[in-house]
Amino acid sequence: SQKIEQNSEALNIQEGKTATLTCNYTNYSPAYLQWYRQDPGRGPVFLLLIRENEKEKRKERLKVTFDTTLKQSLFHITASQPADSATYLCALGENFNKFYFGSGTKLNVKP
Partner 1 sequence: ETGVTQTPRHLVMGMTNKKSLKCEQHLGHNAMYWYKQSAKKPLELMFVYSLEERVENNSVPSRFSPECPNSSHLFLHLHTLQPEDSALYLCASSQDPGGRASETQYFGPGTRLLVL
CB atoms closer than 10 angstroms to residue 87: 18
Distance, CA of 4 to chain centre: 11
Interface region with partner 1, contact rule CB under 8 A, candidates 19-27, 54-62, 76-84, 100-108? 100-108
DSSP type of residue 69: T
- Selected from 14, 16, 18, 31, the binder of partner 1 by CB under 8 A is 31
Please enumerate in sequence order all residues whose Cβ is within 8 A of that of 82, keeping only pairs 6 or more positions apart, or say none.
15, 109, 110, 111
Contacting residue, 4, 23, 64, 107, with partner 1 by CB under 8 A: 4
Contact 46, 34 (CB under 8 A): yes
Minimum distance of partner 1 from residue 99's CB (angstroms): 6
Q: Cβ 24 to partner 1, closest distance in Å?
A: 14
CB of 25 to partner 1, least distance (A): 12
- State yes or no: residue 102 binds partner 1 (CB under 8 A): yes
